Amino acid sequence: MLDAAWIIPLIPALSFVAILFFGKKMPRQGSEIGIVAIATTFVLSCVAAVQWIQRVNRYEGSHQGLGALGKSLMLSTQEHGAVVKPVVHSITWWQNGAFKFGIGIQIDGLAVMMLFVVTLISLLVHIYSTAYMKGDIRFTYFYAALSLFTASMLILVVAPNTLQLLVGWELVGLCSFMLIGHWWEEGANTNAALKAFLTTRTGDIGLMIGVIITFFAAGTFNIVGINQYALSPGADHTLMVVGASCLLIGIIGKSGQFPLHTWLPDAMAGPTPVSALIHAATMVVAGVYLGARVYGVFWSGFNIGDGGMNPMAVIGAITILIGAALAFVQDDIKKVLAYSTVSQLGYMVMGLGVGSWVGAVFHLFTHAFFKALLFLGAGSVSHSGSHHSFDMKKDMGGLRKYMPITFWTFLIGSAALAGIAPLAGFWSKDEILATAGQGGFELFAIVGLVGAFLTAAYMTRCVYLTFFGEYRGHGQPHESPKAITVPLIVLAVFSVFAGLANAAPLGLEKFGEYVEPKFAFPPVIVPTFDYGLAGASLFIVLSAIGVGVFLWFREEEMHAFKGLTKRNVLARGGYALLVNKYYLDDLYEGVIVAGIKGPIARASYWINQNVIDAVVKGAGLAARAIAGGTYTLDQDVLDAGYDGLARETGASGGLLSRVQTGRLQWYALVSFAAIGVFSLALVIFR
Amino acid sequence: MIAQNIAFWIIAVAMGFAAIGVVRTRNIVHAALYLVVVLAGVAAQYILLGAEFVAWVQVLIYIGAVVILFLFGIMLTRAPMEGDSDLDNDQRFPAAVAALFLLGVLVVLLLDAFGGTKIKLDAAVLATGKTAVVGDAIFRQYVVPFEVVSMLLLAALVGAVVIARRD
Amino acid sequence: MSWFDDWALTLAVFLPVVGMVILLLIPRAEEGAQKLVALLTTLVTFAVGIGILFRFDYNRAGRLQFGVDKSWIDVINSRYHMGIDGISLPLLILSMFITVLCVIYSWNHFPEPHNPKAFLALILLLEVGMNGTFAAQDLILFFVFFEIVLLPMFFMIGVWGGPNREYASIKFFLFTLFGSALMLLSFLALYFLSDVHTFSIPALSALHGSGIVEGTQTLVFAGMFLGFAIKVPMFPFHTWLPDAHTEAPTVGSVLLAAIMLKLGTYGFIRIALPLLPKGAINWAPWIGGLAVIGIIYGAFCCLAQTDMKRLIAFSSVAHMGFVMLGIATLTDFGINAAIFGMVAHGLITGMLFFVAGSVQHNFHTREIKRLGGLLVQAPKMGWILGFCVMASLGLPGLAGFWGEFPAILSAFQPAPGLSDVVFRVYMVIAAIGTVLAAGYLLWMLQRVAFGTPKSEFEDADIHDVGLAEWIAWTPMLLGIVILGVYPNLLFSLTNPAVEHVSRVFAR
Amino acid sequence: MIMNQFLILSAFLFCVGVYGVLARRNGVLVLMSVELMLNGVNLNLIAFSARLHAVSGQVFALFIITIAAAEVGVGLAIVLLIYRNLRSPDLDGVDQLKG
């Protein structure tokens, strides 16, 4: 399967074509084609994953001792034969001048992991959508687009060279455009789709130039080659810095990093399953995946091994705080989740920036499950609980009684996101923070902890507003059908246990072992598990939940709140803090919360809407203004110039037209005179 | 040679006056008659140059046909038969200047180019003027242009009818 | 089949003349017969093209094939010299191909004042000029064909055009004529300056301008530059294009965008670069600069448009900027990209004009403001528009990308003798242009296709894509996909021929 | 004989013809002047034919004579048409080309 992995992206691509042409004629309008195709790809991806693990094991069996070291040893020439190489197959796609460009596959741990995640999430989304999108006017088209979306992402994942990666990248952008604008009758949706496409495309300038620069620096598009070049001592450092910066711009655009994150919340205009797919497995993680793929360039360009500061880590850190702060003031449940994604992507990018490759990729892995779970849960709420609304304050509340499965899975997802041990989010976040702390990036570890606090707090608020209190909507809330709840349960299981793939204190470090490339890979440090840090982080999270419970639950009548603390794990955790509410009240309410909930959050939201977004909008408006100006220039100056020329010609023509008596003989006279003169000239100047 | 030279000059002078007569006379019929003189003179010059066949064609077509055609034209357009001062237009003077200027240029050019060149009227020259030789050339070497000219004549015939037809 | 090799190009160029003569002999009333004759003529011509495709020796794509070299005007040593190589072949086939589709599209889309006979005859005449230009290997022959193209297009715009047609057609004619005058002057200069006194393009390109000093080369190149740049059109000589496109009938716009603009770029690659290498090197930075200005400038102008066709016309300016940037790098990489860009732009922009034409046919307006909800009223047309927009903004997997991205890529490392820094700046600017392209195209798509129909058209009788349109469009759409998925089809063909051109500039 | 005798004579005839074409108002007279010019050319051709011993000069002279006949035919038809439309054979009235 590893050698034939090209089938994996091919199947959804064919499914796209099949649904497009035959979907309408199928009994279930094409959804069955999509589901069967994705299920097949999922199975194939699992097979590939197993085979990769076997490959690594086989290798380690034959190189006892070396294999264990391989991860932590520097890549050097002597060891070339002693590391597991990725499976790379490539055929010539096109040739231009002396350059050949391939298309093919590069399968290694990272790719296999991504294949698994993408196909799993996509499969669940496909199943979920049969119920969620039932009766939609463009049901068939929706499934076609989902297939294409998955295919594009898989093309990107298996890409052996940056060019194919770019192709997949752009196709992913196209599909998100199509899906965000799925209900294109409404202007707001198409605006969001346009914004998403244009913002990411702005980032693509960076990617495009970065690809070009790395190509000319390394002389190849091959990812392995680029990484090898970047890590070789002879690499041109200037080119690497510029290249890494450009690629970073690409990541910023695609993965919703500050300051290009504004499209992500707007992208909520698409159907909820699409949001889940975009935020968990495809679109936005493409950026992080790119960072992980050509990590050598970043490592070498930003000197990540030296610690301190670098643009990548800074951008990630800023994004963590910005995203988390913004999540507080949203009333739309999907927007809370969207900002939460922004913030979590910040963790991943920061993780890459601080040298925590494994942590970042691991966080990508775990985040995919719980964020998909949360989005699908929100979709379930809106589908069955709140009459297709996403407004937490107006149309939700108290839903835990009506939708128990949705409630419990959502709660698990929130806890995983908040980072409560031993759920998935805890392990991956901790890995990033530990690496940051031990790799010379202490400041960023602190930022990560602050982010964790905020995350826990806003998720508490979100859960409270949605599921607790009184039902404020107008429909008859009920539990969602099986097609919706089953994916939720599956994802919940993954959210609980996925973290164990790399839980150091439990002796489980399989994730790093199988996923981390050994070939052409920088010497990242492997952090030792820091119980102090983990404990601190856990404490922070729990206290944040406590604060959250205190703040939001308290606003309701006391009996609801008191009853809750008896029954609810989360609330009970915060109960200890609530006892001391009198002397903490001023501190929390007056300083931190008022600060965060009030000025800071509002200010950043204001800045987001009025400055950053305004910059985007302003750029658009300015472009329009410039365009108007340019057009005026074009019409009034350039064109007028030409017209004026023509007029002058006409005027001189008028002068000359007096010569045109219209009489034949006059013309003949002139002609003969001219002939005489020319002949004379010929005689003289012969 | 001298006889021929004398003949040339006599004919040439006659032609010159007749030509000026064509463009200067006030009587349009006189102009046609002057034209006959010029055309006959040209035919005579042809004979001097040994182009016998062309000379006779000249006489037949020009004097026999074209001049008659002109006379018809004069009659059909009811041109005034007697002297009429209004035959010239108002650009007589510039026209004369242009023509003289052209003549001057041409003469200078010719004197410069063919200053001492002479024509020897020997048997070879006379041979080229033979009807047989000319016919041979027309129907062998120049048969395609000949056909084209035939077509042209036909077209001119049709064209003249179409144009002049009263509809 | 050797007779075919000898006659193929002559047939390809002059078969439309035969068809035109037959067409003109058919009485005016019998429109069916006229359409049939026009269609058959273009089909037979295209069949010759297919024959050429089969008989073409792809292993020797760098050499001239199907050569004809007969004496023509001996006095000036100009010969009837035709031949094609990997550069001309795709464009020649494109020209034949698009003409067939245009005739099919015209089937029931004749613009006012109708008169299919004259209209079709003009299309056929246009094909003569276009095919001839791509096949000619003699400067004078090239020039003759280059100019033949003007005439039918002039009449097409001037007779069948929109309300402002007279202004547009005359502007078009004067602009291009002005350029060609200078171009002819340059051709003559080449004839007299080269030692061999010939107009043969292969012979002159073999000389690589040797014997002509650099200053003279630069001057002569300037003449050609004007001639070709106006045709391309490059900023600031582009102002005829929006008017011509806006006023031209649909088929005219398609042919103009798909083929005629390529005559200019083709001229650069075929004539200007190989014949005057030193001039080219001196001019390349300026050409590149104008090209990127064109990219940005065209994009801004697009953003300000309210008329759909005018927007597409300005987008041509931007896209041809990418092509010219590729050429200006003087590397085989860039020139290959440019040729790909030419073909891709031909297909994509041609399609866009087709769709715009059908929109106008249905709604009787091209005002973007008044349109909307095309996807509701004519879903197929709306999807096709979306597809073309995506192709046009350079989505990978569709043809547009392979013209754009390699052109940008090539600017990183232009030919020796050109400044790396300058071209890298161009590269960044061109990359920014891709975002703007996405902006204006999607903006148009959003307002034309998305949303709900405006009230004035709610009850309008809208016909979705009909049979003639399907037949005419499907091949183009397929072409866009096929070239996008497997670009090597074209690259492998042009590469050997381009290497001949770029070898002079290589280190 | 000297070549230039004939050549200059023919040039003279030609130029007189030119004068006539330019200065005459009557259409028929203009046509006559054209004949003068043509005859000048013919004489030139024959002179060269004699000088070069080549028959082609005479052949061309013959062609010119033929064409002259045709030209007179068409030309007179045009004059007739002008006369019919303008009630005068004068060419001055034909100035529709006036700019």
pLDDT tens column, A514-552: 777 777 777 777 777 777 777 777 888 887 777 777 766
Q: In the predicted model, is pLDDT for residue C395 greater than 50?
A: yes
What does the alpha-carbon distance between residue C218 and residue C207 come to, in Å, rounded to a whole number? 16
Verify C-A touch: 3 or more CB pairs within 8 A. Answer: yes
Read off the pLDDT band of A178 (50, 70, 90).
Answer: confident
Helix, strand or coil, per DSSP, at residue C395: coil
**Rounded to a whole number, what is the distance in Å from the CA of B147 to chain A's nearest CA?**
31
Q: Cis omega before residue C113 (within 30°)?
A: yes
Verify D-C touch: 3 or more CB pairs within 8 A. Answer: no
- Of A177, A118, A117, A179, nearest to A143 by C-alpha is A179
Chain A CB contacts of C390 under 8 Å are: 174
What does the alpha-carbon distance between residue A278 and residue C479 come to, in Å, rounded to a whole number? 31
Using CA atoms, how far residue D96 sits from A43, A661, C61, C112, in Å, is: 88, 9, 59, 32
Q: Do C373 and A185 touch (CB under 8 A)?
A: yes
**Dihedral sign computed on CA atoms, order C220, C222, C223, C228:** positive
What number of other Cβ atoms are within 10 A of residue A579's Cβ?
8
What does the alpha-carbon distance between residue D90 and residue B87 come to, in Å, rounded to a whole number? 8
Read off the pLDDT band of A72 (50, 70, 90).
Answer: very low
Contact B105, A676 (CB under 8 A): yes
What does the alpha-carbon distance between residue C197 and residue A147 come to, in Å, rounded to a whole number? 63
Verify A-B touch: 3 or more CB pairs within 8 A. Answer: yes
Round the average pLDDT of chain C to a whole number and report it: 86
Q: Does A658 touch chain D (CB under 8 A)?
A: yes
Read off the pLDDT band of C44 (50, 70, 90).
Answer: very high
Nearest to A676 among B89, B102, B112 (CB): B102
Chain B CB contacts of A672 under 8 Å are: 98-99, 102
Q: Does B107 touch chain A (CB under 8 A)?
A: no
CATH class of the B1-81 domain in this structure: mainly alpha
* Structural domain contains residue D57: yes
Read off the pLDDT band of A599 (50, 70, 90).
Answer: low
Contact D22, A665 (CB under 8 A): yes
**Angle at B64 (CA atoms; ends B142, B39), nearest 5 degrees:** 80
Nearest to D2 among B42, B118, B164 (CB): B118
Read off the pLDDT band of A686 (50, 70, 90).
Answer: low
Structure tokens at A302: 């930003």
Q: What is the pLDDT of residues C356-376, one digit of tens each?
A: 888 888 888 888 888 877 888
Amino acid of residue A449: L
Closest chain B residue by Cα to residue D33: B23
Q: Does A662 touch chain D (CB under 8 A)?
A: yes
Q: Do C495 and A212 touch (CB under 8 A)?
A: no
State the pLDDT at residue B117: 82
Structure tokens at C358: 């059908």
Q: Cis omega before residue C202 (within 30°)?
A: no
State the pLDDT at residue A618: 66
Q: Do D8 and B8 touch (CB under 8 A)?
A: no
Pick A551 or A673 by higher pLDDT: A673
Q: Do C451 and A198 touch (CB under 8 A)?
A: no
State the pLDDT at residue A454: 82
Structure tokens at B64: 């026999």
- Of A193, A111, A276, B155, nearest to A201 by C-alpha is A193
DSSP per-residue letters across C86-148: TTHHHHHHHHHHHHHHHHHHHTT-PPTT--HHHHHHHHHHHHHHHHHHHHB-BHHHHHHHHHH
- Of B79, B82, B86, B71, nearest to D92 by C-alpha is B86
Q: In the predicted model, is pLDDT for residue B58 greater than 70?
A: yes
Structure tokens at C296: 């940005």
High-pLDDT (> 90) share of chain B, %: 21
Using CA atoms, how far residue C69 sits from A148, A472, A556, C79, C184, in Å, is: 52, 88, 95, 7, 22
Domain housing D81: 11-86
Closest chain A residue by Cα to residue B97: A673
Pick C297 or C271 by higher pLDDT: C271
State the pLDDT at residue A554: 58
Domain housing C297: 2-505
- Give backbone dihedrals phi and psi of A107, rounded to 5 degrees, phi first: -110, 120
Amino acid of residue C30: E
Contact C238, C294 (CB under 8 A): yes
State the pLDDT at residue C433: 85
Contact C366, C356 (CB under 8 A): yes
Amino acid of residue B136: D
Q: In the predicted model, is pLDDT for residue B39 greater than 90?
A: yes
Closest chain A residue by Cα to residue B100: A676
**Cβ neighbours of residue C364 under 8 Å, at least 6 residues apart?**
none
Chain A CB contacts of D92 under 8 Å are: 663
High-pLDDT (> 70) share of chain D, %: 96
Across A161-165, A279-283, A518-522, least confident range: A518-522
- Contact residues, B window 21-60, toward A, CB-based 8 Å cutoff: none
Amino acid of residue A636: D
Q: Do B98 and A676 touch (CB under 8 A)?
A: yes
Q: In the predicted model, is pLDDT for residue A144 greater than 50?
A: yes
- Give backbone dihedrals phi and psi of B77, rounded to 5 degrees, phi first: -90, 5
**Cβ neighbours of residue A434 under 8 Å, at least 6 residues apart?**
A356, A359, A445, A527, A528, A529, A530, A533, A534
Q: Does A167 touch chain C (CB under 8 A)?
A: yes
Q: In the predicted model, is pLDDT for residue A577 greater than 50?
A: no
**Rounded to a whole number, what is the distance in Å from the CA of C243 to chain A's nearest CA?**
10
Helix, strand or coil, per DSSP, at residue A178: helix
Q: Do B105 and A672 touch (CB under 8 A)?
A: no
Mean pLDDT of D35-61: 91
- Of C337, C382, C326, nearest to C358 by C-alpha is C382
State the pLDDT at residue B84: 59
Helix axes C467-485, C399-410, angle to 10 degrees: 40
A88 beta partners:
A106
Q: In the predicted model, is pLDDT for residue C175 greater than 90?
A: no
Phi-psi region of C397 (alpha: psi -120 to 50; beta: other; left: phi over 0): left
Q: In the predicted model, is pLDDT for residue A580 greater than 80?
A: no
Chain A CB contacts of D99 under 8 Å are: 656-660, 662
Q: What is the pLDDT of residues C203-214, one digit of tens each?
A: 888 888 777 888
Contact A606, A338 (CB under 8 A): no
* Structural domain contains residue D40: yes
- Of C392, C360, C241, C261, nearest to C310 by C-alpha is C241
Closest chain D residue by Cα to residue B66: D69
Phi-psi region of A303 (alpha: psi -120 to 50; beta: other; left: phi over 0): left
Chain D CB contacts of B46 under 8 Å are: 43, 46
Amino acid of residue C422: V
Q: What is the pLDDT of residues B103-160, one digit of tens each?
A: 998 888 888 888 878 887 777 778 888 888 888 888 888 899 899 999 988 998 888 8
Structure tokens at A404: 């128990």
Round the average pLDDT of chain B to a whole number and report it: 86
Contact C266, C92 (CB under 8 A): no
Q: Does A17 touch chain C (CB under 8 A)?
A: no
Query: Running DSSP on this structure, what letter comes out for residue C457?
Result: G
Q: In the predicted model, is pLDDT for residue D47 greater than 80?
A: yes
Burial C312-321 (b: 16+ CB within 10 A, else e): bbbbbbbbbb
Closest chain B residue by Cα to residue D17: B23
CA gyration radius, chain D: 16
Domain tally for chain C? 1
Q: What is the pLDDT of residues A114-127, one digit of tens each?
A: 888 888 888 888 88
**Rounded to a whole number, what is the distance in Å from the CA of B156 to chain D's nearest CA?**
6
Burial of D67 (0-12, 13-18, 19+ CB in 10 A): middle
Closest chain A residue by Cα to residue D21: A665
Q: In the predicted model, is pLDDT for residue C432 greater than 70?
A: yes
Amino acid of residue C82: M
State the pLDDT at residue A574: 40
Give the number of C-alpha atoms closer than 13 A to the C-alpha of residue C22, restricted to the C-beta side. 17
Q: Dihedral through CA A283, CA A287, CA A288, CA A293, nearest 10?
A: 120
For chain B, which residues make up each domain, given as ranges? 1-81, 130-167
Closest chain B residue by Cα to residue A676: B102
Read off the pLDDT band of A386 (50, 70, 90).
Answer: low
* Structural domain contains residue D81: yes
Which 3-state string (H, E, C) describes B83-125?
A: CCHHHECCCHHHHHHHHHHHHHHHHHHHHHHCCCCECCCCHHH
Q: Do B54 and D58 touch (CB under 8 A)?
A: yes
Q: Does B35 touch chain D (CB under 8 A)?
A: yes
Element (H, E) at A90: strand A87-96
High-pLDDT (> 90) share of chain A, %: 0
**Angle at A163 (CA atoms; ends A223, C319), nearest 5 degrees:** 155
Pick A623 or C84 by higher pLDDT: C84
State the pLDDT at residue A71: 43
Across A225-239, A318-332, A483-497, least confident range: A318-332
**Angle at B8 (CA atoms; ends B7, B11), nearest 5 degrees:** 85
Nearest to A662 among D22, D23, D98 (CB): D98
Q: In the predicted model, is pLDDT for residue A100 greater than 50?
A: yes
State the pLDDT at residue D42: 93
| Location of structure tokens 């002179």 | D47
**Rounded to a whole number, what is the distance in Å from the CA of D42 to chain B's nearest CA?**
9
Q: In the predicted model, is pLDDT for residue A616 greater than 90?
A: no
Where residue D19 sits, what CATH number does that domain have? Answer: 1.10.287.3510
Q: Do C413 and A216 touch (CB under 8 A)?
A: yes
Q: What is the pLDDT of residues A33-50, one digit of tens each?
A: 888 888 888 888 888 888
Amino acid of residue A562: K
**Rounded to a whole number, what is the distance in Å from the CA of D96 to chain B's nearest CA?**
18
Closest chain B residue by Cα to residue D77: B164
Chain B CB contacts of D28 under 8 Å are: 28, 70, 73-74, 77, 79
Q: In the predicted model, is pLDDT for residue A408 greater than 80?
A: yes
State the pLDDT at residue B81: 60
Nearest to B164 among D69, D80, D89 (CB): D80
Chain C CB contacts of A630 under 8 Å are: 297, 300-301, 304
Chain D CB contacts of A670 under 8 Å are: none
State the pLDDT at residue A660: 65
Using CA atoms, how far residue A379 sits from A220, A271, B38, in Å, is: 44, 9, 110
Q: Cis omega before residue A271 (within 30°)?
A: no
State the pLDDT at residue B26: 84
Amino acid of residue C76: I
Read off the pLDDT band of A590 (50, 70, 90).
Answer: very low
State the pLDDT at residue B167: 65
Q: In the predicted model, is pLDDT for residue C273 greater than 80?
A: yes
Q: Do D4 and B5 touch (CB under 8 A)?
A: no
Which range of A515-519, C104-108, D7-11 scores highest in mean pLDDT? It is: D7-11
Q: Do B95 and A669 touch (CB under 8 A)?
A: yes
Across C80-94, C137-151, C438-452, least confident range: C438-452
Q: Do D97 and A658 touch (CB under 8 A)?
A: no
Q: Which of A658, A660, A664, A671 to mutate to test the interface with D (most CBs of D within 10 A)?
A: A664
Mean pLDDT of A674-681: 83
Pick A642 or A461 by higher pLDDT: A461
Q: In the predicted model, is pLDDT for residue D39 greater than 90?
A: yes
Q: In the predicted model, is pLDDT for residue A107 greater than 80?
A: yes
C69 beta partners:
C81
Domain tally for chain D? 1
Q: In the predicted model, is pLDDT for residue A659 greater than 80?
A: no
State the pLDDT at residue D12: 94
Using CA atoms, how far residue A127 sits from A18, A124, A131, A369, in Å, is: 18, 5, 8, 15
Q: In the predicted model, is pLDDT for residue A77 greater than 50?
A: no
Q: In the predicted model, is pLDDT for residue A275 greater than 50?
A: yes
Mean pLDDT of C147-165: 87
